[in-house]
Amino acid sequence: MQVFKFGGASVKDAEGVKNLARVLNEVGYNNTLVIVSAMGKTTNALEHVIANYFNNKKELKSSIQDILKYHNEILLDLFENESHQVFKKIRTLFLELENFLDRNKSPDYNFVYDQTICFGELVSTTVISEYLNHVAIKNSWIDVRDFIKTDEYYRRANVDWKQTQQLIADNFNTKTLHITQGFIGSDPNNFSTTLGREGSDYTAAIFAYCLNAQSVTIWKDVDGVLNADPRHFEHTQLIHQISYREAIELAFYGASVIHPKTLQPLQGKEIPLYVKSFLNPKGKGTCVSKGKTIDPKTPCFIVKKNQVLISLSSLDFSYIVEENISEIFNLLHHYKMKVDVIQNSAISFSVCIDNLYDNLEKLVQHLKAKFKVTVHQNVSLYTIRHYNQKSIETIETGKTVLLKQLTQETVQVVTQ
């Protein structure tokens, strides 16, 4: 059994869907599970729908219709006959979305987010499954929510591994080509949940682990794992081989090619992960596997934008000790802040965080009761693995450095 994952960039238009079919024909698809993300920027468009639902009801229906129009244009390029059943299936999915938003009584943004955002994957996989059948690549569409069960932590749900493994073992046919969704699951009440942004890679790893898959391949618009994101850095280099441990380190610091949760289940069963280009499917790409070590002379750059740096100091110049640090972390946990860097001295404590749940103002007000608080918003966090002086100078030039922290293998720099 092999697991393939195609991201949104690979299926952003009709030509992308056709290319997916070409990739399958070129590399083979026997005993294969294909996991697909929402098409193009659909997730962002659905986030706009959610924003309209809460803040601008008069634009709600038109924002949904914009997404339907986008997918209909793709369908018209893929299918000659508008009477094909796929057109009705897609309209039905959008009707389900509208009905949910009409009937919903919950004021919980995170709950509404997950019930809405999942339609991106449901629509994309329906289009792709129908097209593959249309061009004689016989496949079965499955609803991933029937297999991956989670808790009710909406927008960053935790997998119920025992139940998920049992469902996959009891109900999954490994002898055929399946098309299913990435990124989503369902809670004990069968409401949709999501596994965090870019969670489709994690979906691939979950299935691979439960199916004892031979391999996982993530198909990207780059040739493999690069030492930096080419959108932010010039002169990037392809890394052909890398160990699980090093890949986990890069993922932890925010490397965008591999989701942070993806690698642990694969490492547990030593399932190799390949990252390849959907434009060059026979290319070597990158293999992440046991014992493969990155060239330590190759610096790897990671940047996370729109972060928040909070600097705390005691009001009376007393030491910030274990009790204070424990209280700070309890507050960070309470307000669902993802911590990326911490730095402390005798009377100060700094933390760089990701304000994913928009709780910054509440957190700061709470902290001001006991500390002097300085907040820098919209900062950038740069991380370099296997750094040298030249690589540090590359990211510091022309910027204001707010925080800098070095260890033996890694340097992290927060800049304004």
Question: In this structure, are residues 67 and 73 in contact, taking their beta carbons and an 8 Å threshold?
Answer: no
Helix (H, G, I), strand (E, B) or coil at 373: strand
Q: What's the topology of domain 300-415?
A: VC0802-like (3.30.2130)
H-helix segments, 199-271:
200-211, 244-252, 263-268
- Tell me the pLDDT of the chain averaged across its residues: 95
pLDDT tens profile 89-101? 999 999 999 999 9
Q: Which of 215-219, 222-226, 315-319 has the highest mean pLDDT?
A: 215-219
291 band by pLDDT with thresholds 50, 70 and 90:
confident
Pair of tokens at residue 81: 């006959």
Q: Give the helix, strand, coil percentages of the chain, each rounded to 5.
A: 40, 25, 35
Report how far apart, in Å, the C-alpha atoms of 368 and of each of 63, 365, 383 are.
40, 5, 29
Does pLDDT of 296 surpass 70? no
CA nearest to 314, candidates 305, 323, 306, 302: 323
pLDDT tens profile 150-206? 999 999 999 999 999 999 999 999 999 999 999 999 999 999 999 986 799 999 999
Domain limits of the chain? 2-220, 300-415
Phi-psi region of 317 (alpha: psi -120 to 50; beta: other; left: phi over 0): left
Report CA torsion sign: 17, 23, 28, 32. Answer: negative
Q: What's the topology of domain 2-220?
A: Carbamate kinase (3.40.1160)
Q: How confident is the model at residue 285, as a pLDDT?
A: 94
Does pLDDT of 85 surpass 90? yes
Q: How confident is the model at residue 286, as a pLDDT?
A: 94
Q: Which of 116-130, 196-210, 241-255 has the highest mean pLDDT?
A: 116-130
pLDDT tens profile 339-393? 999 999 999 999 999 998 999 999 999 999 999 999 999 999 999 999 999 999 9
Residue of 259 and 408 predicted with greater confidence: 408
- DSSP secondary structure string for all residues of 113-134: HHHHHTHHHHHHHHHHHHHHHH
Which amino acid makes up residue 274? Y
